[in-house]
Amino acid sequence: MRVVGTVLRNSRQICTGLVQHSLRVQGTSYAAVSQSTRFAMLNRAYTTDPPKSPKEQLPKNEAVKNETSNTEAVKDEKPKSEAAKSDNVKTESAQGEKPKEEKPKDSERFPSRTFGGKSETKERLFPETGPLSLPGIGIFLTTAIGLFVYFNYEKERVGRERKERMNRVETVGTADIGGRFELVDQDHQTFTEKNMLGKFHVVYFGFCHCPDICPEEMDKIGDALDLLDANAYTKDAVQPVFISCDPQRDTPVEVKSYLKQFHSKFIGLTGSVEQVRTTCKAYRVYFSKPPKVVGDQDYLVDHAIYTYLMDPDGVFVEVYGKDKNAEYMAEDIAKRIKKFKDTGRAL
C-alpha cells in the first residue's frame, strides 16, 4: 500500500508540473486558473499525450495571444474537457466489450424481387442447387416420363410379338409333308400327286358325316378362295382339295353330294382303306375310327384338323390350324403367290 501511495503522489506531481508548463506557454499563471479548470487539465494530462511544444502548437508568424484571449480559451476548456472525458469513457467501454457479430440482413439472406418497380423480399421455396432444386426436379420428372413411355412401348411390343407367335406356326426348314398317292375323285377319276402340279393347292382331310368341325373348316377355305378370286393377280391360282379319311362310308357319290354344300371349286377324293391310309401317312395326318362298329351304326372319326398349302411343284409351303381365319389364310396365300410369280414363273 505504501508503494501504491508513493506512485500516486509522484503521478500527481508530474501531472501538476505538466499543467503549469502548459499554462506558462499560454501566458497564464497557475494561480489565475479556477479550481475546476485545473481538475479538467489534470484529468486530460492523465488520459492524453503530453502537450506539444510552443513551436508545434502555434503557427509561424502568429503573435502571442493576450491575457484576455487566454482567459477565454481557459473558459472554453471546460466543455472540451467534459467532451474528452465522455470520449475516454466510450473508449474504455469499447475496449472492455467484445465486438458483436453482425447478423446478415434479410435482404442479404434472401434476394429481393422487383415487381412493377417495387422491391419485394421473399424466402426461396426451392434451393438453387441439389436434387430438390428446380433443375433437379425437372430432370427427375423428365426421366420418370421417359421411363413410363419406354416401358409402355416395350409392354405393347412384347404383347404384339406374343400374339403373333400364338397365331403363327413356326417351321424350321421344310417339313416332309406330301408325296406319292393315288385316289379317286367324286367323278370316279384317278387322282394322283401329279394332278396337283402347276397350281397352288389347299388340302383338307375330313369326313362327310362330320357334324361341326369339318363344315366350319370347309366354309373357311371357301371364304379364303373368294377373297383370292376377288383379286385379278391371285384369281384361279389356288385349287381346293378335300380328302376323306372315312373310306368305308365316303364313296365318290357320297363325296360329290357332300361337296355341293361348299365352294364349287372343291375336288373330293376318296379310295380304299389302304389308299387313304397311305395318303394320310404322306401328309402326316392322324385319323382314328372306333374299333367296334356294328352294321350301319353311326360313328365319328377322330382326325387332325389342318389345312395344307402346297406350291405348284407339289412341295409343302404352309399349314393353317383351326385358329387361323379366312382373312389370314387369303393374305398369307397371296404373299406366297406373289413370291412365286416374282421368280418369273406363271400359274
Q: Is the model's pLDDT at 126 over the cut of 80?
A: no
Asked if residues 266 and 225 have their Cβ atoms less than 8 Å apart, the reply is no
pLDDT of residue 297: 78
Largest interatomic CA distance in the chain? 171
pLDDT in tens, 116-125: 555 455 566 7
pTM of the full structure: 0.51
Least confident of 21-30, 245-254, 287-296: 21-30
Least confident of 29-33, 116-120, 128-132: 116-120
- Shortest CA distance to 308 belongs to which of 296, 298, 300, 316? 316
Considering only residues 23 and 116, tell me which one the structure prediction assigns the higher pLDDT: 23
Q: Is the model's pLDDT at 64 over the cut of 50?
A: no
For residue 307, the SS3 value is: strand
Considering only residues 11 and 104, tell me which one the structure prediction assigns the higher pLDDT: 11
Confidence label for 323 from pLDDT (cuts 50, 70 and 90): very high
Read off the amino acid at residue 231.
N
pLDDT in tens, 249-275: 999 999 999 999 999 999 999 999 999
pLDDT in tens, 132-158: 888 888 888 999 999 999 999 999 999
Q: d(Cα 175, Cα 124) in Å, to the nearest integer? A: 74
Q: Is the model's pLDDT at 337 over the cut of 80?
A: yes
Confidence label for 60 from pLDDT (cuts 50, 70 and 90): very low
Q: d(Cα 178, Cα 319) in Å, to the nearest integer? A: 12
Cell of 49: 499525450
Percentage above 90 pLDDT, the chain: 46
For residue 253, the SS3 value is: helix
Considering only residues 255 and 106, tell me which one the structure prediction assigns the higher pLDDT: 255
Confidence label for 306 from pLDDT (cuts 50, 70 and 90): very high
Q: d(Cα 279, Cα 284) in Å, to the nearest integer? A: 9
Alpha-carbon dihedral of residues 145, 148, 154, 158, nearest 10 degrees? -160
pLDDT in tens, 161-199: 887 776 654 545 566 889 999 999 999 999 999 999 999
Asked if residues 271 and 182 have their Cβ atoms less than 8 Å apart, the reply is yes
Asked if residues 4 and 37 have their Cβ atoms less than 8 Å apart, the reply is no
Least confident of 20-24, 109-113, 134-138, 204-208: 109-113
* Helix residue spans in the chain (DSSP H): 2-26, 35-47, 54-57, 67-96, 106-109, 134-166, 213-229, 252-259, 273-282, 326-341
pLDDT of residue 54: 47
Cell of 279: 395318303
Q: d(Cα 41, Cα 198) in Å, to the nearest integer? A: 141
**CB burial of residue 63 (10 Å; 0-12, 13-18, 19+):** exposed
Centre a 10 Å sphere on the Cβ of residue 282 and count the other Cβ atoms it contains: 15
Confidence label for 57 from pLDDT (cuts 50, 70 and 90): very low
